[in-house]
């Protein structure tokens, strides 16, 4: 199927059958959830986050915890999907488009997670392309900040290596073009030799909680959300203004929400997709807003682009930086592209104590979100 669209031997970080078996064994998954990879990854990542947070399913029910979930709709394999859409209407095997559509609704996955974790109410589901995970986090942040809930489970799960996703990225010239033969050299955010996204399957979950509620149950607080932003730029479906003005607005709004100045930011975890459009616009925006040049990284250089999951995954890695006083490297970077904004890309892991980290998520459709994390007090 992929070869038909010119996608041949393009590297991606795909979850293998062996990986699936390891997840099932590690989390003792038998019949539920089903063989659906997106659901299985979500269940395992969710359970892991609950264990780290010291929460049981019973406690989640007691606290009336809500689910905020992100995914971009592809759950069935490419061959099956092709078979459904090419079906002969006179055949008993024909399945109409409404049935196929039902198989791809993120809400179905979220409802299963509600049952698995014994959560309250209806799930809130987001499909805002590469920004979806961060939008889910932003919604949970506003819900808790308003006092409507004290605790939320925020997660995303994505089979980003799905053939349909690869074809879509190929069509908009954002997929890695095979310039380098080694997988570990492929994703090169902000580098002069960048060659497109390397897609990756992933899932990530966070427990987000009111500060007083967390203290009350004696939880270990890993980081605080100082501020967030979410904006829809309405420029173009598949790209942003190359001046970076919309990305700059997103970061400025997060600073305003956090009541911080640009110089208060010690480190930036960029969206950094290794595409010309994103890297050019984001580097220009960072250069314009942060003249003190805080170190910038792209975790996608190591982990690939997991679409809806990427923002939450990068949030978790930023939390690790805050707690371990260790700055992660941006891999495969040698020097900036000639027309990129001047930024300081961190090339090697190093010890660094930081107080505030800014993390960006920018997606197709003009959905932008920025998050500022603060080192936990005490």
167 vs 91: CA distance, rounded Å: 28
Q: Tabulate helix, strand, coil % of the chain (nearest 5).
A: 40, 20, 40
259 vs 238: CA distance, rounded Å: 32
Q: Write the DSSP assignment of 89-101 as a string of letters.
A: TTSTT---HHHHH
Tell me whether residue 44 is one of the annotated catalytic residues: no
Q: Which of 65, 130, 162, 356 is catalytic?
A: 130
| DSSP E strand stretches across 254-377 | 267-269, 296-297, 326-327, 350-351, 356-363, 367-375
Tell me whether residue 197 is one of the annotated catalytic residues: no
124 vs 154: CA distance, rounded Å: 10
> Residue 352 is encoded by which pair of tokens?
């660094």
- Looking at residue 191, the DSSP 8-state letter turns out to be B
Q: Which residues are CB-neighbours of 262 under 8 A, at least 6 positions away?
A: 255, 289, 290, 291, 292
Q: Which of 65, 162, 267, 305 is catalytic?
A: 305
169 vs 159: CA distance, rounded Å: 14
Q: Which residues are CB-neighbours of 35 under 8 A, at least 6 positions away?
A: none
Tell me whether residue 118 is one of the annotated catalytic residues: no
212 vs 63: CA distance, rounded Å: 13
232 vs 236: CA distance, rounded Å: 11
> Residue 183 is encoded by which pair of tokens?
């997988």
Phi-psi region of 116 (alpha: psi -120 to 50; beta: other; left: phi over 0): alpha
Identify the H or E element spanning 166: helix 163-171
Q: Which of 162, 267, 271, 356 is catalytic?
A: 271
Residue positions annotated with a catalytic role: 130, 271, 305
């Amino acid at each position: 199927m992929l070869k038909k669209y010119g996608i041949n031997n393009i590297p991606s970080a795909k979850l293998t059958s062996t990986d699936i078996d390891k997840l099932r064994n590690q989390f003792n998954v038998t019949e539920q959830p089903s063989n659906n990879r997106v659901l299985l990854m979500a269940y395992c990542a969710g359970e892991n986050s609950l264990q780290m947070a010291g929460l049981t399913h019973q406690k989640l029910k007691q606290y009336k915890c809500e689910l905020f979930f992100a995914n971009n709709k592809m759950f069935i394999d490419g061959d099956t999907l092709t078979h459904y859409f090419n079906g002969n209407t006179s055949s008993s095997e024909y399945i109409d488009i409404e049935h196929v559509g039902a198989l791809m609704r993120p809400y179905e996955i979220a409802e299963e997670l509600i049952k698995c974790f014994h959560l309250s109410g209806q799930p809130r589901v987001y499909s805002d392309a590469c920004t979806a995970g961060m939008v889910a986090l932003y919604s949970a942040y506003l819900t808790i900040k308003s006092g409507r809930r004290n605790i939320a489970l925020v997660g995303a799960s994505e089979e980003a290596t799905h053939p349909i996703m690869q074809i879509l990225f190929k069509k908009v010239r954002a997929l890695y073009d095979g310039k380098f033969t080694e997988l570990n050299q492929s994703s090169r955010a902000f580098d002069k030799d960048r060659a497109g996204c390397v897609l990756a399957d992933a899932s990530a979950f966070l427990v987000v909680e009111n500060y007083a509620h967390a203290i009350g149950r004696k939880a270990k607080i890993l980081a605080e959300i100082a501020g967030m932003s979410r904006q829809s730029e309405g420029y173009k479906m598949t790209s942003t203004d190359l001046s970076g003005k919309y990305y700059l607005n997103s970061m400025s709004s997060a600073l305003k929400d956090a009541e911080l100045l640009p110089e208060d930011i010690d480190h930036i975890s960029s969206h950094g997709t290794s595409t010309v459009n994103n890297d050019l616009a984001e580097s220009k925006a960072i250069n314009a807003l942060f003249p003190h040049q805080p170190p910038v990284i792209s975790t996608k250089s190591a982990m690939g682009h997991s679409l809806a999951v990427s923002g939450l995954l990068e949030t978790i890695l930023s939390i690790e930086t805050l707690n371990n006083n260790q700055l992660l490297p941006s891999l495969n970077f040698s020097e900036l592209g000639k027309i990129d904004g001047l930024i300081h890309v961190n090339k090697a892991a190093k010890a660094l104590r930081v107080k505030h980290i800014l993390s960006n998520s920018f997606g197709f459709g003009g959905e932008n979100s920025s998050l500022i994390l603060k080192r936990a007090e005490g």
